[in-house]
Structure formats: C-alpha cells, structure tokens
Amino acid sequence: MNKQGRPTRPEDVAAKARATFTGNRALDIEEALIFETGRFDATGVDLDDPAPFQSRLGPHAREGALNLPGLTEPEALRHYVRLSRDNYSIDAGIYPLGSCTMKHNPRLNERIARLPGFADVHPLQPVSTAQGALAVIDALAKALMTMTGMSAVAMPPKAGAHGELCGMMAIKAAIEARGERETRRVVLVPDSAHGTNPATAALIGFSVRPVPAGEDGNVSVEAVKSALAPDVAAIMLTNPNTCGLFERQIAGIAEALHGAGAYFYCDGANFNAIVGKTRPGDLGVDAMHINLHKTFSTPHGGGGPGAGPVALSSRLAPYAPVPFVAREGDELNLVEHAEGTASFGRMSAFHGQMGMFVRALSFILSHGADGLRQASEDAVLSANYVRACLNDVMSAPFGDRPCMHEALFDDRWLKDTGLTTLDFAKAMIDEGYHPMTVYFPLIVHGAMLIEPTESESKAGLDLFIMTLRYLAFAVKAGDRERLLSAPVFAPRRRLDETRAARQPVLRWTRPAPA
Ligand SMILES: *Cc1c(COP(=O)(O)O)cnc(C)c1O
C-alpha cells in the first residue's frame, strides 16, 4: 500500500478484500433493516399520554400493537444517512448511463426552485394569484417551441413515457377527426427503439409493426416505405437513435410518412445531442417529447419527479390536452375544459411539474442560446473522446463512424474469454463507477452504451477511460477472476435481479424467537 493506503501491488488488493467482523468496509457501513434495529420501547419523540377520550372507530379500532420499529432520533438519522450512502448519484461521480443523459443538476436551479413564490405555489390557488407561475410555464413552452421549431407544447406529461402517451393520444385524436379510426390501426416502430415506444402504441390500442434497422444502425427510407400501408397511423422513431447515431434519412422518412397520410412521432429523449444545432420541426416531426430530467438538467426519478412536455406540429396542436396556458390581454389564464375544442382531454389532474418547469427554465436562461448549443456540442465531443480512446481495446459495432452524445460498444472483444458485458459492468462498480447502460439497444449484441454528457471535465473523463482500459487489459491478460468475482467492494455482491423484480419481498416478518 502507499501512504494513503491505496494498493500498489496485487497482494495489497487481496488484503483490502478481507472480510471484517462488522461486515463494514471502512466507512462503507453495513446497514440492517430498520425493523431489525428498532426496539418497541424506544422513540425519538416524547409525547404526553393523551387525555381520556372516547374512540369513534368502533369495530375498526386497532386491537394489537402497531409494531412499528422504535428508534431514537440519532438512530433514525444514521439509518437513513447510511442508506443514502449506498446509492450512487450524479453528485458522487460520473453516471455514464447511455440514453438517460445523467447530467449535473446545477445548484442555481435548486436555488430558484426554492424561492417561496415557486416552492409554495398550489395548483388550486386562484389563477389571478399565480400569474408568475403561469408566466414561467408560458416562457418555458416558448423556449421549447423555439428549440424544436414546432407550433405548440403540451406541458402536463410527467415523464418521457407519459409524453409518448400524450403525443400518441394527439395522433389518435387527429386520426379519429379524419374519420380513419377503424382503418389506421398500426404504428411502425424500428427494432432499435426504446421499449417504451411499442408499449405506448400498444397501450392505446394500436398494433406494432417493426421496421428493421440497417447494418449501419440507421433506419432507411426504403425500410419505412416497405412497412407503410394505408393502415399505418404513425411511426415512433428516436433521433439521435439509441445507437447514438443521427438518423441520416430522417427528412425522407418524414416525407414518405406524410405522403401516406401517417404522422411522425419522434422520441426526443436524446435531444441533448442536437439542441441549438437542429430543429426537429424542420425535419418533419409532428410530435416529440422532451425529457426535462435529461436535456434540461432537472433531477431524475428518485431524485425528483420527471417532466416530459411534448412539442406538437401545427397539424397536431389543436388536439393538445388541457389544461394549457392562454394569454388573454395582459392576463394569463389556464384553459381547463376541453368541451367545444378538438383537445383529446386531460392527462393528469393539474398542469404539470411546476418545480421541474422552474429548474428547466433556470437552466435554459442561465445558459442562453449559445450556452445550450455549446452544451450539446460538448456532450457530443465527450462521447466521441470516450469512443476514440476505447476503440482499440473494445469493439464498436459501427467502426470508426463518429457518434452523437453516446458511444456504443458491443461484446465481440470479449469473445472466447468466457466473460460477458455484465461481468465488465460489475467490475466497474469495484472501481467506484456506476456502469454504463448494458444490453441496450437490443440490436447490438452485448451492448455497452456510454453517455458521459457535457458535465465531465477532461480529467474526469481521462480517469474513467484509463479505468476502462485497465479493466480491458485485465481481460486481455487473462485475469478473469477480477471480473467474475466483481463487485467485491460494493455493499452487496451480485443479486438475482430478475427474481428481485418478479418476486419482490416487500414485507418484513418478525423471525420466530430463538
Ligand atoms: C429515457 C427514455 C425514454 C423514457 O423516458 P422516461 O422519462 O424515463 O419515462 C424514452 N425513450 C428513450 C430513448 C429514453 O432514453
């Protein structure tokens, strides 16, 4: 070991992996379930016994003890702080999850979102008292319209997949208005698509017709034309696609669709690669969701609610959901009712995720047009840097072709080693990195999809690249054990993830007394 205790020789690594009595690894503390730690006689609060009262619960009154774990305040606090440390996050390090655009959430966004006027706004307060909030929604919608080159934006959807549903419902309404409800029942979905695309189409009653992607990872006009027929309502195409490539024939595809009376839904999850460079509206897109939690830096999933506004072309704008913000003279109003309009109706109780709108607008205004363009250029540059620096040790399905915002590798370089993409990903955990997206897109065998985003410094990227090269050299040197046994430093080793998802154990039962 060196003076800081970092291993310098293989024996040092073995010493570090040694088991400890507590199960802890240095500050990585083994944490039991709260039910196992708690005692029924302990509490973090000290309440007086209630004055005598008559229960009105009758037969519904609880008979036994509630059996909630009792903990003192420091015990409760430590439990949750330790659990939080078992979570990898973008605030802890690079999060190179391809297609997810896990970028830094600027603290400026958080500061603005916490201003009381934004943080305390209530969806049921009178519109006259929420003019500032409506102005934020309106300004964000205008910014998104400018960036997409499209006529309208529906703000309510709560996630990308919810946005897909919204866009496809607008397409369905447009088709019904044309009297083609019974005839146009098919949605084309390329086989390189995100799983949410066919799921969305199926959810609202369309059937899915796959379109094969070509050898070069792109969908061709020819492939779309041969799948097109009078029964086709729309295509759902991702651009840049999930191979990290710009769909080169996208304008021709749009033309072919429109010529056949079908609509063009674009999955815009990868918008971060093209903001300020290309406007989807100019490419013939009719509807596209924008993941504010990807491109516009609002927190993802567990870190906060998502938001997936949908940009609509002039052909679909009339079918947008309610409520939406409308300007009436100097006042902003929320149009709440669909009656008497072509709107397909309501998707959610209120107008959308206000806190996310504030953060996204803060990101947009603090970057400005030039800053947003630079962010997408830097994201693409970072991905190409990663691609170019790993190309000689790993295998890339599309060779030397430059990528957009994410670099895609396959598992040909692991052939005959008995090791898999999963083993490589697990070894990254021991090195302190969250793995990249693996086994997606499905059309590339053993896919590894790396999206560094614009957030990483060159030094950060270099360390990441050197670590992956180090692991790749370990594979080439025949050190299979390093990968097969990984992760050894994580709080848990390899879990049966499929079983955990299919048969989750969500209830703790008290073990029988010994
Ligand atoms: C993330 C993503 C989605 C879904 O977005 P959510 O906000 O997670 O629902 C859809 N398509 C692609 C290509 C994505 O990367």
> pLDDT band at 269, cuts 50/70/90?
very high
Contact predicate 481/6, CB 8 Å: no
H/E segment holding residue 163? helix 160-177
H/E segment holding residue 35? helix 34-37
Ranges of beta strands (E only) in 212-284 are 232-238, 263-267
Pocket test for ligand 1, best of 267, 356, 406 (most atoms within 8 A of CB): 267
pTM over 0.75: yes
Pocket test for ligand 1, best of 196, 347, 436 (most atoms within 8 A of CB): 196
In this predicted structure, the answer to whether residue 185 has a pLDDT above a threshold of 90 is yes
Pocket test for ligand 1, best of 97, 99, 101 (most atoms within 8 A of CB): 99
Reduced to 3 states (helix: H, G, I; strand: E, B; else coil), residue 346 is strand
* Cα–Cα distance for residue pair 391/382, rounded to 1 Å: 14
* pLDDT above 90 as % of the chain: 79
Domain 108-364, classified CATH 3.40.640.10, yes or no: yes
Ranges of beta strands (E only) in 292-396 are 310-312, 324-328, 331-335
> pLDDT band at 267, cuts 50/70/90?
very high
Q: Which residue shows structure tokens 């003076």?
A: 3
Output the residue whose Cα is nearest ligand 1's atom 4: 160
Q: In ligand 1, which atom is closest to the CA atom of 238?
A: 13
Q: Which tens digit of pLDDT belongs to each residue from 291-321? A: 999 999 999 865 467 899 999 999 999 999 9
Ligand 1 — pocket residues by CB below 6 A? 99-100, 159-161, 194, 196, 238, 242, 267, 269, 291, 306, 308
Q: In sequence order, what are the beta bridge partners of 335?
A: 324
Q: Which residue shows structure tokens 């419902």?
A: 169
Average pLDDT in the chain? 93
* Cα–Cα distance for residue pair 440/453, rounded to 1 Å: 18
Contact predicate 329/300, CB 8 Å: no
Spacing, Cα 170 to ligand 1 middle (Å): 19
Query: What DSSP line would sit under 326-390, residue for residue?
Result: EEETTEEEEE---TTS----BSSSSS--HHHHHHHHHHHHHHHHHHHHHHHHHHHHHHHHHHHHH
Residues of the chain with CATH 3.40.640.10: 108-364
Residues of the chain with CATH 3.90.1150.10: 369-501
Superfamily of domain 369-501: Aspartate Aminotransferase, domain 1 (3.90.1150.10)
H/E segment holding residue 463? helix 458-476
Q: Which tens digit of pLDDT belongs to each residue from 441-452? A: 999 999 999 999
